[in-house]
Structure 1
Amino acid sequence: MASGNSEHPDAVARDYFALNPPPRQLQSHTTLARTFIETHASDNRRVVLVTSGGTTVPLENQTVRFIDNFSAGTRGATSAEYFLEAGYAVIFLHRQFSLLPYSRHYSHSTNCFLDYMIEDENGSVVVGDEYQGEMLHVLRQYKAARKNNTLLLLSFTTITDYLWELREIAKLMQPLGPRALFYLAAAVSDFFVPHDRMVEHKIQSSEDFNATKQINGDPKTKLPAARTEGKSLVIDLDPVPKFLKSLVDGWAPEGMIVSFKLETDPSMLSAKAKYALNKYSHHLVIGNLLSTRKWEVVFVTSKGSKWIRVPRRRRTKSFSGRLEQVGLAGGKDEEEAVEDGVASEETMQWDPPIEIESLIVPEISRMHEEMIKSKTQGR
């Protein structure tokens, strides 16, 4: 729902799903999800829906051009591994072709995957000696998840695909009660092209070949949302309804809901995260800066704020990150400042780098367990 829109969230959701058709794979995905959820519900296991990667905004029905964002799904894929390690069953709802748990270690690398392989004296393809230990560890984790049926991979492409999948899976998770967790790490588009304003075929670069004043010969029909006018491409997008309130109040009323807030301005991060928490009344907003998201986040709950930060000597390398901005958004105490100052190459050699998700997920798991106990004892 756009800011300032007074319509009830239920009405907005009903209109959106009535006007924008479901993805073709929705029925097969819901069948898989239902079986997966029922299996783990019978074992009294906690189930987390991890959403990951970016959503596309198609400009044509037969899509050639679309709007996208930079998300590769690193946060979601990494977090899914740590949720599995923490004993959760994971439904991984991800952008098609974005990073996946376990395979991310090799698909998101500066090395070609084939660089890990060699041909032995028998003509068989094997893993090189220097990669044996690491790859064996990852392989064992992946095989365990598959053997125990604790990881379900479901994909989406467009913003509409994502919202349909989220709604249907959330409803299927309702019988889990407080044992359901929603970890909404996907980078969801803020604007989209409504189905009734989307042209059928590829937008032509020349206005001579584009019907900008009519569709299918009907001059009363609305102008297409994406069209050429003269030498310019005009794109008129509608705001994507904010469905987080629908998730909190209707689709998943008993589950724990975690959302993310990404900002580029350190001075706005905490305020925007608190605003989102107050507006949607869910359980946790994780705020992160684009430039420091791999090393620090802030947890914002109704009880206050808490910074989670990887110690300087344990931080992973990042080509896009800016170490000098760590702490600018708040939460940096004197101890951390001293630690930053004394870290050296020698100490970093003895302390291997860690991923911030290895700190995020155990803290969420602890909070989730407390919520489950509180709701169970209250019954």
Structure 2
Amino acid sequence: MTTLFDNHQLGPLPLPNRLVMAPMTRVRAAAGGLATPEMATYYAQRATAGLIVSEGVQPSLIGQSNPGTPGLHTAEQQESWRQVTAAVHANGGRIFAQIMHGGRVSHPSTNGLQPAGPSAVPAVGEVFTPTGRQPAPIPRSMTTAEVPDHARSYAEAARRGVDAGFDGVELHGANGYLIQQFLSSNANLRTDRYGGSIANRIRFAVEAVTQTVDTIGADRTGIRLSPGATIWGVEEYDVLPLYTELVQELARLDLAYLHLEVTTDAETLLTLRNLWPNTLIINPGPPLGPGQTTPADAETWLRQGADLISFGRAFIANPDLVERLRNHLPLTPADESTYFEGGTRGYLTYPPYHYATSA
């Protein structure tokens, strides 16, 4: 039986184990969306993961969702990431950048721009801003002519990421952000070629991925999806046919991997597994809330055909998570109050497991 500690070949990358550090927003970037030395230390501490997927990185200024997040749309941002990728590689790790366009999930006080989305339908809930949470604003509906520019921004950020030393990129198509907004039945009310039918609603995702593949190669490109997730008020009324058609289209592009969150029923996810010919990453933990992926969750999904398992919250407080799971050591709980507060507390202050020494 496959275990978390077996190796796996991910395109050209040999992975020493099947644990993936899931992408997690930590809002520790410097002004201008620059990566920092502290971020380099944070990711390097976790380099024993088979693969690290970075926090969401905005591909454009208008794509920025939260304050304090890093970007990959300027030369300065690109250069700032070199210290991160170099530190991870020096510690023997592998790292993909997650490219995340927030779409309607943003606020003018964050980046000075009115958010843009598929339609002028606001997200549900309050968004993060530099002065605290505020109601999600009504976004501007993208014109048909500009939609391809937003799709192209993923590819342009991917090129910058690879040039900065990332081993590849993951397009964030999950959790209510721009790609899932186009997939949505209620956030996407368009009547042009990007709305209405399933073929039209998946078009943006397929175009963004295709352009990324054309720019950096299929074996350096992955995508994350959360079928049926209702985060930020997104709804999909036709989850199985929608994701069946999307996964079939993406499979033709021969991507490095598909990263699925367990946000719908197991039968649907197993159908998608059977449609997907390459590496499948499963993230069993809930995308929101206090729960986290457990070794039992991982074993269940490995038995059902997943190739890799991503762990999120467990990696925050356990930089040596691979060793702890391998040796059945206790896990340190994460302090949720420090997730987004900035600084090094709850970021660089979690030590590896301390083995007691005999007298």
Q: For the pair shown, which has the larger CA radius of gyration, 1 or 2?
A: 1
The structure that is helix-richer by fraction is 1
TM-score (norm 1): 0.32
TM-score (norm 2): 0.33
